[in-house]
Amino acid sequence: MLSVKGLRANVGDKEILRGLDLEVGPGEVHAIMGPNGSGKSTFAHVLSGRAGYGVTAGSAIFEGRDLFDLEPEERARLGLFLAFQYPVELPGVNNTYFLKAALNSIRKARGESELDAVSFLRLIKERLKILHLDDSLLKRAVNAGFSGGEKKRNEIFQMALLEPRLAILDETDSGLDIDALRVVADGVNALRGPERSMIVVTHYQRLLDYIEPDYVHVLAKGRIIRSGGKELALELEEKGYGWIDAEVEAA
């Protein structure tokens, strides 16, 4: 599904990712954990094609294509989805119009026909329910004036609608109280399936109580230094990130 090899990336002159390798198979959920500044968010951004990052080495093969050869919209049309840590407010851009433009762009790229208004509405109403979101959301501008929880739910709602093959959740738990976290996690879990892989980027183990990963990776100084099952997350929770520094120093 996704094969990242030897990825190095800079922000400005500073190297943030220093030879990152990751294999994600179909239907797998991988958690990427690590202390602040380890490169977790950079990894998510580089995969999705955000400007301001320079990939200096390595590749990320997704669905047979190297993501780094593609524009952000082309990556999305291939089936990549990034749930933003800080979803962007788009004042004046109507949510329904936005969702329709996004869905139809992706459908077109897949060789499917554009949805007519009726089927589109039916589809979004059905997906809204998964996230316990209200219809009124559709009339509002994208993320504009949304609460933190609404923004995060809106991200997962978009994911439910666009049905990506690989979803990257970038610190989806940040800024959520426990109830909101549960709703978001339920939404994510409802979307798990044999054909959909996920990369869950998080600082805290808390989210992983709700979204149970198949694999956990520890990222430090731009590299994955340990990989394991979900028990690794618990170990991190217990020991904190302090021991990592020692381990990186030793390596």
Q: Which SS3 state, helix, strand or coil, does residue 167 take?
A: strand
Strands 223-228 and 166-170: unpaired
Please state the closest distance from residue 110 (CB atom) to another protein, in A: 10
Give one DSSP letter per residue of 85-102, joined into a string: SSPPP-TT-BHHHHHHHH
Structure tokens at 151: 């923004």
Q: Write the CB contacts of 191 (distance below 8 Å, at least 6 apart in sequence).
A: 130, 156, 159, 160, 167
Which of 53, 84, 157, 215 binds another protein (CB under 8 A)? It is 84
Please state the closest distance from residue 101 (CB atom) to another protein, in A: 5
* Residues 62, 164: Cα–Cα separation, whole Å: 12
Please state the closest distance from residue 82 (CB atom) to another protein, in A: 5
Q: Which is nearer to another protein, 105 or 227 (CB)?
A: 105
Which of 12, 36, 64, 91 binds another protein (CB under 8 A)? It is 91
Q: Which is nearer to another protein, 74 or 186 (CB)?
A: 74
Instruction: Name which of residues 136 to 155 contact another protein (CB under 8 A).
Output: 141
Of 99, 105, 165, give the one whose Cα is nearest residue 131.
99
Q: Which is nearer to another protein, 40 or 221 (CB)?
A: 40
* Residues 193, 172: Cα–Cα separation, whole Å: 19
Of 85, 95, 100, 103, give the one whose Cα is nearest residue 142.
95
Structure tokens at 137: 């959301």
* Residues 101, 60: Cα–Cα separation, whole Å: 27
Structure tokens at 63: 């669905």
Q: Provide the angle, in degrees to the nearest 10, between the axes of the packed helices 95-109 and 117-130.
A: 110
Please state the closest distance from residue 125 (CB atom) to another protein, in A: 19
* Residues 233, 221: Cα–Cα separation, whole Å: 18
Which range binds another protein by CB under 8 A, 16-24, 101-109, 176-184, 202-210?
101-109
Interface characters, 227-246, with another protein (x: CB under 8 A): --------------------
Which of 59, 105, 174, 227 binds another protein (CB under 8 A)? It is 105
Q: Which is nearer to another protein, 84 or 215 (CB)?
A: 84
How big is the site for another protein, counted in residues (CB under 8 A)?
A: 30
Instruction: Name which of residues 18 to 77 contact another protein (CB under 8 A).
Output: 48-51, 71-73, 75-77
Structure tokens at 58: 């390595």
Which of 55, 61, 109, 191 binds another protein (CB under 8 A)? It is 109
Tell me which residues touch another protein (CB under 8 A).
48-51, 71-73, 75-77, 81-82, 84, 87-88, 90-94, 97-98, 101-102, 105-106, 109, 141, 158, 162
